[in-house]
């Protein structure tokens, strides 16, 4: 499966540096413009190397981005809940400073990513999130073997994909940018009980006219 993973466009909470998690925040005006720019670029690619489907997290910010892209490609969007962002528990809606004030030790544990089983602030365990993502992508890789697809998702999901594709540990700080409306090109295949990852291009933003925000965590 040849994949273009798209991070959703900017939201008001992105602009305020608030953790979104499963909160259903819409795109802001810049985010809608970013989605439109991604759509125009991907429509050009679609004209020469067609995409088979547009698949999206069912959260509003991703779905709005996916709807804009799909309309330009004359495709239907399919909701894929497995592509949702990590649930950040009690830290959702908070800036890093507010999260640290609410629960300094818990937020430090969330940001440090040192323990895959930890659930600071009742957040989704990182191990559970990884299992969810990989199970979802394994099914899609079987369904769309040898086809090109667009998948619209979130910063936390993309961080996992980058680490897997580059052979990085799942624990520890992030070392790659994850810009709003950035395009990330990977090939995925099923290898035994797991996935085979091939990185093509990461964090492509040449289609965007304005600066784009990186992920928080």
Active centre residues (catalytic): 8, 85
- Is 51 in contact with 146 (CB distance < 8 Å)? no
Q: Where does residue 12 rank: exposed (0-12), middle (13-18), buried (19+ CB within 10 A)?
A: middle
- Is 21 in contact with 88 (CB distance < 8 Å)? yes
Run of H or E including 149 = strand 148-153
- Is 61 in contact with 91 (CB distance < 8 Å)? no
DSSP characters for 130-148? HHHHHHHHHHHHHHTTT-E
Backbone angles phi, psi at 161, to 5 degrees: -60, -45
The C-alpha atoms of residue 99 and residue 121 are separated, in whole angstroms, by 10
- Comparing CA positions, the residue from 172, 147, 161, 168 lying closest to residue 201 is 161
In angstroms, the Cα distances linking 86 to 43, 45, 109, 122 are 29, 30, 15, 11
């Amino acid at each position: 499966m040849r994949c273009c993973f798209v991070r959703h466009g900017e939201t008001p909470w992105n602009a305020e540096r608030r953790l979104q998690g499963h909160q259903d925040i819409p795109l802001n005006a810049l985010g809608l413009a970013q989605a439109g720019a991604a759509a125009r670029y991907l429509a050009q690619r679609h004209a020469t190397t067609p995409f088979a489907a547009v698949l999206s997290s069912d959260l509003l910010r991703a779905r709005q981005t996916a709807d804009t892209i799909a309309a330009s490609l004359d495709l239907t969007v399919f909701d894929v809940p497995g592509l949702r962002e990590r649930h950040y528990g009690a830290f959702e809606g908070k800036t890093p400073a507010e999260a640290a004030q609410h629960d300094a030790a818990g937020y430090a544990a969330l940001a440090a990513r040192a323990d895959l089983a930890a659930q600071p602030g009742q957040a989704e365990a990182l191990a559970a999130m990884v299992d969810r993502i990989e199970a979802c992508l394994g099914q899609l890789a079987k369904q769309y073997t040898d086809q090109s697809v667009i998948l619209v998702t979130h910063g936390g999901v993309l961080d996992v994909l980058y680490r897997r594709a580059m052979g990085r540990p799942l624990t520890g700080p992030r070392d790659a940018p994850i810009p709003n409306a950035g395009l990330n090109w990977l090939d995925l295949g099923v290898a035994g009980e797991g996935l085979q990852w091939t990185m093509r291009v990461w964090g492509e933003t040449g289609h965007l006219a304005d600066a784009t925000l990186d992920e928080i965590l």
